[in-house]
Amino acid sequence: MIKDLYDYLAKPDKTIGEHVEDLIFRANILRKLGYIKDIHIYNLLIQACKGHDLGKANKEFLKRILNPKLHFDETKEISHNILSVYYLDKNEFDENTDDYLIVACCILFHHDYCNEPLVIKTRTSQINSLLIPEYNQKPSRRMLKNICNNYLKKRETIIVKGLLHRCDYSASGNYEIEYPNDFLEAGLAQMMNEWQKKKKDSCWNELQEFCIENREENIIALAPTGMGKTEAGLLWIGNHKGFFILPIRTAINAIYDRIKNQILKDEKLKERLGLLHSESLSYYGSHVGQEMDILDYRNRGQALSLPLNISTLDQLFDFVFKYKGYEMKLATLAYSKIVIDEIQMYDAEMLAYLIYGLRRIHELGGKIAIVTATLPPFIKKLLRDKNIGNIEFKERDFTDDLKRHSVKVIDESICEDDIIQCYNQNIKEGKGNKILVVCNTIKKAQKMYDQIKEKDETLNSHVLHSRFDREDRKNLENKIKEFGKTYNERNEIDIQNGIWIATSIVEVSLDIDFDYLFTELTDLNGLFQRMGRCNRKGVKQLDGYNCFVYCDGSDIKQGQKGFLDSVFYEQSKKALKTVDGILEESQKTKLINDYFTYDDIRSSDYMRQFKDTFDWISELDIGNFEKDEIKMRNIFTKSIVPKIVYDQNKDEIVLLEERQTLISKKLKDSNIEQKERENLFRERIEIQERLRDFIVQIPYYEYHKYYKKVYQTYGTVNISKYEHIDIMNCQYDIKGFYPLNYENIGEDAMMF
């Protein structure tokens, strides 16, 4: 009797048939949760699940799977995804050749082991020698050519192939493909009940009701700081799979904490809420209970299994580079709801990736909500343009009656004397005296700190930017959040004396409420974001100006130098000429609408870069990039450990490195028990995360200058087998990293 194909082994402990059943079980979960609504797509997916591993029914694969010491030998073996196509029966597709070709294409490319079309073209005899003749369906050359060349870009192929990847990886890794979102609406309702116990007339506001009423629509909702945009976005997602995307990690962490603590109450966290950014593992380590397996928790998030996810753009939208297997993320996002916050903060390149990605998601059925404080008209145009975003939105603007800001525009450079005078005057009058100073570059922020200290070293002043090591930055962020709270323990307006000098990292990343803002002018959108850190809740008395904007123009672009697009800067400056005194939220929206139309900025460097990037990413072919080589942001930084930081922590660093070496040796022992192996693996990750606490990201040109002028070898901090971080002699103190005192050349490219 001929052995059935499904009776052959797919894995050492499972037959092909058993593995197929695992995949179909997961496909049915997606169907049950409502994530596969189209019965045609579902049927194609089931066919792909049934046929994806049939090619493992060959003698060479069987030898290898029964002998772990054997490795794939391309002189004897053909990748099973190729052989599987030859077993796919066309008769099971009711003479629908298109469906057959879609499924065959999904099966052929569900692994990235080789150049599949080339193998099919050049190794026909070897393929035939491995096939079981009784099951060989002998697809024609024309069909094979179609499968290889013409079907990867079809809508149905993208969805089915992406879902096949999800099912296959979940079955092979033995993890849940999706956890249900059956909690979010109830959690939000419970939170409202708690608010109503404190204040009886609490209810969802107009913004939040708009999001509830339009859950099935793509929406743009514009609302000022303090109107509950996070809750609005969550109410729009409802009991559905959702992704909340923001540009800055600290903002993402803050939203994660709010959902975790106020809505989920830490219940079933591992099945409900995920954090997706490059340092999520470290954040979990200090923000979830000790009983939780944070590695497993992180892996669930990365596998896209959790129903609610807070993420940076680069963690999800790398699919726009169309690396092999990109369909898995795109197909997942296509049955999800995507909330985009602070879209105006993205630079031209990132905005191009975002809008192209949103277009692809929209085309495949995903829903999109843009819930943000400001949105320039030119971005709305790009989102709706038939040749760019091609997405229709239901749009509404919201405002409130709070008067938060009284603005004084000063056509000069920002000055420490003005800040100190304000500080001392407030002390005399016993007024709220939390002063936030925002500079456009790190170098300027450090200089401003020095100037204030030189004038009066007794002032309570601090500086915050991105060139601190991770541990110091975390501590500084905790300090500024505590200092910048609106109310004290007695629920009274919190009054303290202090000056915090920062860069634009404070624009959206921190929930802080200062009394006064002194800032250099950035573009109008960024300026309004900065103003959102001052009188944030609108409960502080407005007595005179509380926002001082300096616009001497020293930071605008001149050729390739500078940081602010000259067109954006000049439009912002024109808008501010109309402002003196109280600036209501409706006026802010009007200024942006009046001065940032598409026609206003079409000639800017920003728009040129956007168009170049969008055109390039649109025309990119599948497989031009390997997934591991994709970086959504250009690499302009270098990781270093300052020598002074190394010297102060040398004993701990050396012990951690030695322990990691010992763990690596133990893990090579094949006789080690699985439980101990898992514990050692987790300990190694914890060690690596602790070693990364000492790293500072600096501009690459700064490292190049150091290497060229004063380079000395101080060794490396060995994070892992492949990650070795140079120890660099530099200045590092309360102001963070700054270079040794050698000739100052180059640009201060790292603004944040």
- Tell me whether residue 347 is exposed, middle or buried, using C-beta atoms within 10 angstroms of its C-beta: 0 to 12, 13 to 18, 19 or more: middle
State the Cα–Cα distance between residues 407 and 404, nearest whole angstrom: 10
CA dihedral 26, 27, 32, 35 (to 10 degrees): 120
For domain 5-173, give the fold.
Hypothetical protein af1432 (1.10.3210)
Instruction: Using pLDDT thresholds of 50, 70 and 90, give the confidence band for residue 635.
Output: low
Whole-angstrom Cα Rg for the chain: 29
Would you give the end-to-end CA distance of the chain in angstroms? 70
Per the CB < 8 A criterion, the answer to whether 241 and 178 are in contact is yes
User: Which of 43, 135, 45, 46 has its CA nearest to residue 83?
Assistant: 135
Parallel, antiparallel, or unpaired for β 405-410 and 581-583?
antiparallel
Closest by alpha carbon to 448, among 517, 514, 501, 516?
501
Could you write out the three-class secondary structure of 377-410? HHHHHHHHCCCCCCCCCEEEECCCCCCCEEEEEE
Q: Find out whether 393 and 383 touch, Cβ atoms under 8 Å.
A: yes
With a cut of 80, say whether residue 629 has pLDDT above it: no
Please report which helix (H) or strand (E) contains residue 727, including its range.
Answer: strand 724-728
Predicted confidence band at 167 (pLDDT cuts at 50, 70, 90)?
Answer: very high
**pLDDT given at position 557:** 59
Nearest to 589 by CA among 530, 642, 643, 525: 525
The secondary element (H helix, E strand) that includes residue 452 is: helix 442-455
CA–CA gap between residue 710 and residue 741 (Å, rounded):
10
The predicted pLDDT at position 535 comes to 93
* SS3 assignment for 511-548: CCCECEEEEECCCHHHHHHHHCCECCCCCCCCCCCCEE
Please state, rounded to an integer, the average pLDDT across all residues of the chain: 91
Mean pLDDT of 81-106: 91
Flag the least confident range among 44-53, 160-169, 302-311, 533-542: 533-542
The pLDDT score that the predictor gives to residue 681 is: 83
pLDDT at 716 over 90: yes
Spell out the domain ranges in the chain: 5-173, 206-397, 405-583, 637-738
pLDDT score at 563: 67
Name the pLDDT band for 155 (thresholds 50, 70, 90).
very high
The class that CATH gives domain 206-397 is: alpha beta
Q: How far is CA 163 from the centre of its chain?
A: 22
Could you list the beta-strand ranges (E) of 380-504.
394-397, 405-410, 433-438, 461-464, 497-502
* Greatest mean pLDDT range, 33-37, 147-151, 697-701: 33-37
pLDDT in tens, 648-672: 999 999 999 999 999 999 888 888 8
Q: Do domains 5-173 and 206-397 have the same CATH topology?
A: no
| pLDDT for position 741 | 78
Least confident stretch, 79-83, 153-157, 740-744: 740-744
Q: Which of 537-551, 631-645, 673-687 has the lowest mean pLDDT?
A: 631-645
Place of tokens 């495949």: 364
- Whole-number pLDDT of residue 149: 86
Inter-residue contact 381 to 343 (CB < 8 Å): no
Reported as a single tens digit per residue, the pLDDT across 383-393 is 999 999 999 99
How far is it, in rounded angstroms, from Cα 415 to Cα 711?
36
Residue 750, pLDDT > 90, answer: no
% of the chain at pLDDT higher than 90: 70
Q: Indicate the angle between helix axes 566-576 and 524-531, nearest 10 degrees.
A: 60
What are the φ and ψ backbone dihedral angles of 368, each rounded to 5 degrees?
-130, 135
Q: Which residues contact residue 477 at a Cβ distance below 8 angstroms, ignoring those fewer than 6 apart? A: 250, 464, 510
Dihedral pair phi/psi, residue 633, rounded to 5°? -115, 140
SS3 549: strand
Q: Which two tokens stand for residue 6?
A: 């499904």
DSSP of 86-150, one letter per residue? HH--GGGGTT-HHHHHHHHHHHHTSS-SS-HHHHHHH-HHHHHHHS-GGG-----HHHHHHHHHT
71 neighbors 78 (Cβ within 8 angstroms): no
Separation CA 377–CA 524 (nearest Å): 13
pLDDT for 564 equals: 80
Chain segment 218-227, per-residue pLDDT in tens: 999 999 877 8
Residue 208: strand pairing partners: none
| pLDDT band of 561, cuts 50, 70, 90 | very low
Task: Judge whether 194 and 263 are in contact, CB under 8 Å.
Answer: no
Whole-number pLDDT of residue 292: 82
Q: Is 461 in a helix, a strand, or coil?
A: strand
Over residues 724-744, the mean pLDDT reads 87
> What are the beta bridge partners of residue 405?
583
Matching CATH number, 405-583, of 3.90.950.10, 3.40.50.300, 2.10.109.10, 3.40.50.1100: 3.40.50.300
Neighbours of 238 (CB within 10 A): 16
Q: Is 171 helix (H, G, I), strand (E, B) or coil?
A: helix
Question: Across residues 157-179, what is the average pLDDT?
Answer: 97
pLDDT reading at 745 higher than 60: no
Tell me, letter by letter, the H, E, C secondary structure of 352-382.
Answer: HHHHHHHHHHHHCCCEEEEEECCCCHHHHHH
C-alpha–C-alpha distance, residues 258 and 329, integer Å? 26
Q: Is pLDDT above 60 for 749?
A: no
pLDDT exceeds 60 at position 678: yes
3-class DSSP state of 11: strand
- Average pLDDT, integer, range 320-340: 97
User: Is the pLDDT score of 586 beyond 60?
Assistant: yes
pLDDT digits (tens, 9 = 90+) for 471-512: 999 899 999 999 999 988 888 888 999 999 999 888 876 789
> Higher confidence at residue 291 or residue 427?
427
**Contact by Cβ (8 Å): 319, 107:** no
Question: 450-459 contacts: CB < 8 A, separation 24 or more?
Answer: 450/735, 451/416, 452/416, 452/419, 452/420, 452/499, 452/501, 455/416, 455/417, 455/420, 456/420, 459/420, 459/423, 459/499
Task: Please tell me the distance from the alpha carbon of residue 267 to that of residue 183, in angstroms, as a whole number.
Answer: 10
pLDDT for 752 beyond 60: no
384: left (phi over 0), alpha (psi -120 to 50) or beta: alpha
298-312 core/surface letters (b: 16 or more CB in 10 A; e: else) = bebbebbbbbbbbbb
What are the C-alpha distances in Å from 550 to residues 554, 576, 581? Answer: 10, 11, 15
Q: List the single range of 160-169, 298-307, 694-703 with lowest mean pLDDT.
A: 694-703
CA distances from 605 to 132, 504, 505, 602, 631 (A): 61, 21, 23, 9, 22
DSSP run (H or E) holding 550: strand 547-550
Q: In what order do the strands lie in the sheet with 696-699?
A: 696-699, 637-642, 724-728, 716-718
Per residue in 254-267, pLDDT tens? Answer: 899 999 999 999 99
Please give the pLDDT value at position 507. Answer: 81
Helix-helix angle 294-302:674-692, to 10 degrees: 80
Contact 281, 690 (CB under 8 A): no
Tokens of 174: 């033995």
- Only one residue has tokens 């001497």, namely 552
- Is 60 exceeded by the pLDDT of residue 461? yes
